[in-house]
Every structure is written in structure tokens, then in C-alpha cells.
């Protein structure tokens, strides 16, 4: 036959599970999954832009934007918190006290904890070597503290305990805890009794599990470029000089391994945008021995080893989603793509400047870039455990003579597409972007 204490503990646990699910589900309904993290990321990005602003009027506008978004966000979050917490508060005030009363009425023994030593008593008086004589504690109690001294009395009373101050208790450690029940399996006692611990533990566990597993909207996040990525990308672009210095430290760290590596016949996929270069890259990246940049290298492309080691500590794999181009290609962190352009832009300042000559021929010399680029390729080969570098960059079609001088055995692949088929995805993308704006 089950004991009354086990029955009421089970009841409290079931109620905790129901309320835990309700809390998480209602929160996710009112404040959709990802809202808080997306907002904080956007807040950091806006704040970063605020500190960069040199114009007083622009600074005020940016500041007003941050304050307005803060109030709008807090209003939604407070509503979600109120609705999701209401059932828990009602339970704590109305239902839980009655269950706890039934739970405590069925105990016949007491547990005494002093200096982490457990003593058991069968009646309403306690006595022992730590007490002068005996002390009557009474029947109606739980989470009671027997103490001696004004400071201890004030402290435990403030913590919400029932305090019995008795001069017969003269132990040097200060306080003695009394509870109903003979087993001490509750790590939160004396702050929570067994019933309260079961309720809190189950409620918290089910809430966290629901937050992790449930997406009530059933829809994928349409915001493919998260504000966090945008913020980190902005930081990486603004501090490329510092990243180069950090990359040099990375190079020195793996200097011995790099000295044994050779760059053999690198492959460069280049050409016009929407010519099929990404699809070609994805197919070629599956070949054994070929190593290329992946989305996991973004945004700190200049330090791929350090960045990948760092993010591997906490980043979880995400399901594939359609990339921002809206071209039907699905990507994840392991997908290959063109990311090395940031290196070219750092060492060649005019490459994307309007009206400048973007062609790099065999007469161009930039020893700093060439040295950095070769070491960078070795990092990708080491990181991906490959033997041959595969690059995709449409702008490289204007740099073939220069690249061929640096890598005489390099191979260049230029996909050429039927003009009508080439134009079609551009039209579809423009239409998609127009509909989103509408």
C-alpha cells in the first residue's frame, strides 16, 4: 500500500508537470519562440551602430529607435509572463497549501539535521548531546529552525522559517533544522520540503523540455539572417585589421603543421552570378580531398580555426533552410559557399569601389595578400582535413591572370548558362523580394 506522503508527492508532481507545460506553451504562443533572443541581438546591433555614429542628429534618432523598441518588446514579454505565470500563482496560493497540509499530517517521525548529521525522533521532543535537557517542538510544524542567538534568529526568520529560540540548544555551529519525515533525499531542504521540491523540479524540467521541443507556430523562421549574425558581421568588417593580427597568431600556433603542407592545384569556381556556381560548388565539395569554406566559418573568416574551435563548444546544428537569395537552395552550417571575398577586400581597397578598375592581372603585386592568402588556404585544408583547396568567388573571374601567377597549377571552372535560363532566377528573386516588401 502506498504511503500518503508518496501519494501527495505524486499529485504535486503531476500538477507541476501540467503547469510546466502550460507555462512554456503559453509563453511561446504569446511571445513566439526566438523573439527574445532575436530582439536582444537586434538591440546589440542598434547599440553598436549608436556608438559608431558621429552625427548628433543621427545619434538621437538611433537612441529614440532603441528606446521605442525596448518598450514595445517589454510590453509583449510582460504580457507573456503574466499569462503564463497566472496558473502557477493560483496553484501556489489556493491548491498547493491544501495538498501540503494533507502531506504533512501523515508523518509520525521527525528528522533533525545538525552539522550534516541526521538524527531521527519519534515524538514531539528532541534531546541529545547537542541539547541541554530536552526541548518540546510541538506537532504542527515544518521547516523549523532551532537556534540560539539574536543574529541567527533574525536571519532564519527573514528567510521564512519558523524559528524556535531556546537557550537549551547551545551548539557552536549555530542552528539545528527539524523536518517531518525520516529520509533526507531532498537537496533543497530546509529551504523547500519534499513536496515543494518535487513540484518545483518537475515544473522546471517540463518547462525546459517544452521550450526545447515545441514550436507552436509550426513555421520556420523567415528571418534567415539573424540579427546576431548581422552584428558579428558588422564587427568583423569594422575590425578587419585586428582580425589580421589575430590570424597571424593563429598562423604561428600551427606554424609547424603549415610548414609540412603544400598547396597543390587549387580549384577556383568563378563567373557570373546565378550561373550555377553555387550548385556546382556544392557538388564538388562532396568529392573526397576537396576543402572549401563553409557557413560555419562566417563571419570571422580570417581566423577559421580559432572561430570553429570556439563555436564548436556551444553551437547546435540547425535544420537546413532556404538561403536569403530565395533561389530554392537550402543551406546549413556545413554548406559550402563564397566567403573569402572579405580577405580580398581588406588587401585591395578599390575592388568594389564604383568606377575603379576591378581587374587584377599578372602584373599586380601584393606580397602581404599573397602571403596571408596562402596561409589561409592551408588553414582551410587543415580544418577540413583535405588535400586540395576549392574556392568559389564570382569576382575571381576578373583575377584569373593574377591567381594563375600565384598558383601556376591552379584550375579555373567558369560555368556558362543559357541566357534565358540565366535571367529567369533574377526575375523570380526580384518578384519574391517585391512581394515581401508589399
The 3-class secondary structure across 310-365, one letter per residue, is HHCCCCCCCCCEECCCCCCCEECCCCECCCCHHHHHHHCCCCCCCCCCCCCCCCCC
Contacts 24+ apart (CB under 8 A), 217-220: 217/32, 217/33, 220/321
**Which residues does the chain have with pLDDT short of 70?**
1-5, 31-41, 104-194, 213-228, 231, 316, 324-327, 425-438
**Residue numbers of the domain that contains 162:** 110-180
pLDDT at 172: 45
pTM over 0.85: no
Same structural domain, 131 and 39: no
pLDDT at 325: 66
pLDDT at 126: 56
Same structural domain, 338 and 429: yes
Same structural domain, 209 and 285: no
Query: CA distances (Å), 245 to each of 67, 240, 248, 423, in order?
Result: 36, 9, 5, 42
pLDDT at 247: 94
Tens digit of pLDDT for each residue in 206-242?
888 887 766 544 444 444 455 567 767 878 888 888 8
Same structural domain, 383 and 268: yes
Smallest CA-to-CA distance from 274 within 423, 434, 432, 396 is with 423
**Is 185 a member of any domain?**
no
Identify how many contiguous H helices and E strands the chain contains and give both numbers. 15, 13
pLDDT at 390: 97
Q: List % helix, strand, coil for the chain (3-state, nearest 5).
A: 55, 10, 35
**Is 149 a member of any domain?**
yes
- Would you state the cell numbers that stand for residue 438, as one nine-digit string? 508589399
Same structural domain, 377 and 310: yes
**Is 188 a member of any domain?**
no
**Is 346 a member of any domain?**
yes
**Is 87 a member of any domain?**
yes
Total number of domains in the chain? 3
Same structural domain, 384 and 266: yes
Same structural domain, 30 and 130: no
348-366 in b/e form (b: 16+ CB < 10 A) is beebeeeeeeeebeeeeee
3-state secondary structure 85-104: HHHHHHHHHHHHHHHHHHHH
Same structural domain, 133 and 239: no
The span from the CA of 45 to the CA of 304, in Å, is: 23
**Is 219 a member of any domain?**
no
**Is 51 a member of any domain?**
yes
pLDDT at 51: 72
Same structural domain, 378 and 433: yes
Same structural domain, 339 and 413: yes
Smallest CA-to-CA distance from 416 within 280, 265, 266 is with 280
Same structural domain, 22 and 171: no
Query: CA distances (Å), 254 to each of 4, 125, 206, in order?
Result: 65, 71, 46
**Is 221 a member of any domain?**
no
Using DSSP's 3-state secondary structure scheme, residue 113 falls into strand
The span from the CA of 32 to the CA of 11, in Å, is: 31
pLDDT at 403: 97
Same structural domain, 101 and 125: no
End-to-end CA distance of the chain: 67
Whether the CB-CB separation of 69 and 42 falls below 8 Å is answered with yes
Sheet with 162-165, edge to edge strand ranges: 117-121, 110-114, 175-180, 144-147, 162-165
- Would you state the cell numbers that stand for residue 98, as one nine-digit string? 491544501
Amino acid at each position: 500500500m502506498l504511503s500518503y506522503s508518496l501519494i501527495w508527492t505524486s499529485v504535486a508532481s503531476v500538477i507541476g508537470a501540467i503547469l510546466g507545460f502550460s507555462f512554456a506553451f503559453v509563453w511561446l504562443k504569446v511571445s513566439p519562440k526566438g523573439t527574445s533572443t532575436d530582439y536582444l541581438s537586434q538591440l546589440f546591433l542598434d547599440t553598436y551602430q549608436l556608438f559608431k555614429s558621429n552625427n548628433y542628429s543621427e545619434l538621437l534618432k538611433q537612441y529614440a529607435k532603441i528606446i521605442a523598441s525596448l518598450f514595445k518588446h517589454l510590453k509583449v514579454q510582460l504580457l507573456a509572463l503574466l499569462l503564463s505565470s497566472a496558473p502557477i500563482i493560483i496553484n501556489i496560493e489556493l491548491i498547493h497549501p491544501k495538498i501540503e497540509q494533507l502531506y504533512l499530517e501523515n508523518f509520525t517521525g521527525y528528522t533533525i539535521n545538525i552539522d550534516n548529521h541526521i538524527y531521527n525522533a519519534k515524538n514531539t521532543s528532541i534531546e541529545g548531546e547537542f541539547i541541554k535537557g530536552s526541548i518540546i517542538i510541538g506537532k504542527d510544524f515544518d521547516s523549523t529552525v532551532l537556534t540560539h542567538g539574536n543574529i541567527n534568529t533574525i536571519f532564519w526568520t527573514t528567510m521564512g522559517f519558523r524559528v524556535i529560540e531556546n537557550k537549551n540548544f547551545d551548539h557552536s555551529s549555530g542552528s539545528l533544522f527539524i523536518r517531518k519525515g525520516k529520509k533526507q533525499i531532498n537537496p533543497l531542504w530546509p529551504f523547500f520540503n519534499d513536496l515543494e521540491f518535487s513540484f518545483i523540479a518537475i515544473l522546471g524540467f517540463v518547462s525546459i523540455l517544452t521550450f526545447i521541443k515545441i514550436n507552436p507556430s509550426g513555421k520556420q523562421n523567415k528571418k534567415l539572417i539573424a540579427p546576431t549574425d548581422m552584428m558579428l558581421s558588422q564587427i568583423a568588417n569594422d575590425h578587419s585589421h585586428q582580425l589580421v593580427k589575430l590570424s597571424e597568431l593563429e598562423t604561428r600556433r600551427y606554424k609547424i603543421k603549415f610548414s609540412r603542407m603544400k598547396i597543390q592545384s587549387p580549384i577556383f569556381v568563378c563567373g557570373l552570378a546565378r550561373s550555377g556556381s553555387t550548385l556546382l560548388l556544392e557538388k564538388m565539395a562532396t568529392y573526397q580531398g576537396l576543402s572549401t569554406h563553409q557557413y560555419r566559418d562566417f563571419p570571422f573568416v580570417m581566423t577559421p580555426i580559432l572561430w570553429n574551435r570556439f563555436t564548436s563548444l556551444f553551437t547546435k546544428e540547425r535544420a537546413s533552410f532556404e538561403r536569403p537569395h530565395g533561389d530554392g537552395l537550402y543551406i546549413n552550417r556545413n554548406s559550402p559557399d563564397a566567403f573569402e571575398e572579405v580577405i580580398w577586400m581588406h588587401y585591395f581597397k578599390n575592388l568594389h569601389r564604383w568606377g575603379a578598375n576591378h581587374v587584377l592581372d599578372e602584373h599586380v603585386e601584393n606580397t602581404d595578400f599573397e602571403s596571408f592568402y596562402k596561409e589561409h588556404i592551408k588553414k582551410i585544408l587543415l580544418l577540413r582535413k583535405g588535400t586540395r583547396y576549392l574556392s568559389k568567388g564570382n569576382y575571381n573571374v576578373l583575377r584569373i591572370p593574377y591567381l594563375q601567377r600565384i598558383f601556376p597549377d591552379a584550375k579555373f571552372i567558369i560555368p556558362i548558362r543559357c541566357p534565358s535560363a540565366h535571367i529567369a532566377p533574377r526575375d523570380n528573386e526580384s518578384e519574391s523580394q517585391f512581394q515581401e516588401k508589399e
